[in-house]
Amino acid sequence: MKHANDIVVTGIGAITSIGNTREAFWENLIAGRSGADTIHAFNPAGFGSTIACEVKDFNPQDLMDKRRAKRMARFSQLAVCTALAAWEDAGLDLEKEDPARIASLVSSGAGDYEHIEIQHQTLLDKGPLKGHPLVVPKIIPNMAAGNVAIELGIHGPCFGAVSACATGAHTLALGAQLLQLNKADVIVAGGAESTITPLAVDAYACMKVLSTRNHEPQRASRPFDADRDGFVIGEGSAVLILERRDRAQKRGARIYATLAGTGMTADAHSIAAPDTEGRWAAEAMKTAMREAGLNPEDVDYINAHGTSTRANDSTETKAIKSALGDSARKTPVSSTKSMIGHTLGAAGALEAAATVLALYNGVLPPTINLENPDPECDLDYIPNEARSVKIRAALSNSFGFGGQNGVLAFRAE
């Protein structure tokens, strides 16, 4: 049942390794195209993992002033360009809005590694007081939200959540709560990440969580497959525009879907490994369903966290079974990370965008490279081919280092 105070999605922007617009992102998702390739951002020779899902042909100056763009790190550039696209998609006009009632909640899990590495080397090579004066406002994660607010000219709440790979999901959940508390009328919410740098890639490789299938990048990310050996690091951004239903309808906005429920829990188990039974990930799913008024049999699709690591995929399978019970085996699940890689702090937002577009278009994106199913991962993962199915409700799962779990429940219009 629709209510006037429902939180609805009225705009979507996305920049990813498989497309720099919402339309291209969606077209390539459902076509099962991979964005993985050998790293171009730096020379990866000698690194344990030499592959990534990099954004291609991105020129922030196409959408913003050249001087402004140069003062931002790449993750902020991605955030701003994606927010501008989402704003346009929502049909919003700042002259008709109260800028103090529009919030910028665009987050990054890591911020900017590139300039940390460059400026540290400068310090070592040249000594103190030789660095760039803007390095601090470039590197701090909250600058995605700050730069979006500056570019749009909005003055409502402005901050970013930082919760590792659950960052994007938590940010959208917080945005919905601001609307429910009547702290804003419009929320510009999402995540942006760009950490394909020597330090970041090597750090993840040292943790043994990156795929080393370097000779075939496009087949390296293979969630739920028995031959998976780690994730492929990615970059990108997604921003969703959130409003209350009554307001969106009053201005004649297109409504993609309803953000009907959120679930947030902590494993309190490990700084990196998930709880082996997936108990608290399951609890986050249950909470999101309960808040959305959904029974397990009402969930027609789950966009999984699905990283392509040994631990995550088997644990998430357990969590889904625990949360959905007998309905788990009837519920299609897929991992869009199989195509766009793991975009870290942007993942929850990008996967929320994919989930909303699946609801809106009635097509479920596949899990590509699922060729040899893992016996421990025995659900319906929509292998290799998109599926046209009219769905009523869906979950988007995001689970981060530190045991930080975020789940979003969406309903179709």
DSSP one-letter code for 358: H
User: Distance between CA atoms of 227 and 236, rounded to whole angstroms?
Assistant: 26
User: Among 164, 159, 157, which residue's Cα sits nearest to residue 144?
Assistant: 159
For 72, 168, 255, the CA distances from 193, given in Å and listed in that order, are 13, 10, 27
Long-range interactions of 149-154: CB distance < 8 A, separation 24+: 149/104, 151/64, 151/68, 151/80, 151/83, 151/84, 152/83, 152/84, 152/87, 152/94, 152/102, 152/104, 152/188, 153/94, 153/99, 154/94, 154/99, 154/102, 154/103, 154/104, 154/188
Which secondary-structure segment (H or E) carries 356? helix 347-361
Task: Render 78-95 in DSSP notation, one character per residue.
Answer: HHHHHHHHHHHHHT--GG
Which secondary-structure segment (H or E) carries 279? helix 279-292
Given the residues 53, 81, 158, 165, select the one marked as catalytic. Answer: 165
- 165 is annotated as an active-site residue: yes
User: Distance between CA atoms of 129 and 24, rounded to whole angstroms?
Assistant: 44
For residue 127, give the amino acid letter: G
As annotated, the active-site residues are 165
